[in-house]
Amino acid sequence: MASLLKIEDLHVAVDEKPILKGVNLELRQGEVHALMGPNGSGKSTLAYALAGHPKYEITGGSIEIDGAKLNDLDPSERARLGVFLAFQYPVTIPGVKVADFLRHAVTNVRNPDRKEGEGLVPMKDFRKELRSRMEELGMDTDFARRYLNDGFSGGEKKRMEILQLAMLKPKFAILDETDSGLDSDAVKVVSEGVAKLSGPDMGVLIITHHERLLEFNHPHQVHVMLSGRIVETGDAALAKELHDSGYAGIRERHPEVAAEETTEVAKV
């Protein structure tokens, strides 16, 4: 049976300020969902709350995978249960090679009961798998010898996250504006990479402002967020409406939430 990521009546605050105000969403392995909304609507807050960022305090509701509650788990425990977050702005770690970083990450996710002092995944097996995945994604193997994101272009950083996704094989991948700051060619490369990796064993939540990533990753459902709530859910036609017309129609259909959004902006 496909695993289920269930978000129920989720409330999240940052520095005691409420951001998410009752989010409900269900994502199954094998499904691709898109989450869209204007800046400040809470999309990235949802991504960080799912991953377990300590700054994002869950004040109500729950996050579960197959009935196991994630609310109080740290990020590494969530990763072992199958959650992966591709950051909007990936961090740089000078001095740590891509291959070494991935070998430690793969070991920690696949062998959660590994005791201190026990070895990493065998180097021979790891190198074979890494080379295979890089070839599958059309990446030069020299990439693995570079320091993590150090001197990487925006497109290279995002491809690095796609490589992590390929190696860690999570049940659920949350892509937080992976297309942000990329030119059309880089978006195409990243989109095709995600499409190659998605399948029956992985659910994907694509958080985006645009429709470009969805051209190669046709969503089963599209969710629209305003003022910390998911106000509409539909199919790919909803994404096209947002691409063509923006959020005016959404705000007209949900005037109470739109009014709350305007009030929050006025307070800033």
Q: Using the predicted structure, report yes or no on whether residue 182 has a pLDDT greater than 90.
A: no
pLDDT, mean of residues 182-201: 83
Q: Cα dihedral sign for 31, 37, 40, 42?
A: negative
The span from the CA of 80 to the CA of 112, in Å, is 7
Rounded Cα distance, 93 and 234, in Å: 39
- Burial class, 121, CB count within 10 angstroms (exposed 0-12 / middle 13-18 / buried 19+): middle
Mean pLDDT of the chain: 90
Q: Give the bridge partners for 63, in sequence order.
A: 7
Give the helix/strand (H/E) hosting 232.
strand 229-234
Per-residue model confidence as pLDDT tens digits over 93-111 = 999 999 999 999 999 888 8
Distance between CA atoms of 250 and 238, rounded to whole angstroms?
Answer: 10
CATH of 4-90+171-267, one of 3.40.640.10, 3.20.20.140, 3.30.110.70, 3.40.50.300: 3.40.50.300
Domain boundaries, the chain: 4-90+171-267
What distance in Å separates the CA atoms of residue 36 and residue 176, rounded to the nearest whole number? 11
Neighbours of 174 (CB within 10 A): 26
Beta bridge partners of 174: 85, 205
pLDDT at 268 over 50: no
Q: The tokens 């001095």 sit on which residue?
A: 95
More reliable by pLDDT, 123 or 182: 123
CB 231 within 8 A of CB 244: no
Q: What is the pTM of this model?
A: 0.91
Q: Which residue has the tokens 């702005």?
A: 89
Check residue 117 and give its pLDDT.
Answer: 60
Place of tokens 């925006």: 154
Handedness of CA 153, 155, 159, 161 (dihedral sign): positive
Torsion of CA 235, 239, 242, 243, to 10 degrees: -150
pLDDT at 266 over 50: no
pLDDT band, residue 30 (cuts 50/70/90): very high
Stretch 153-182: mean pLDDT: 88
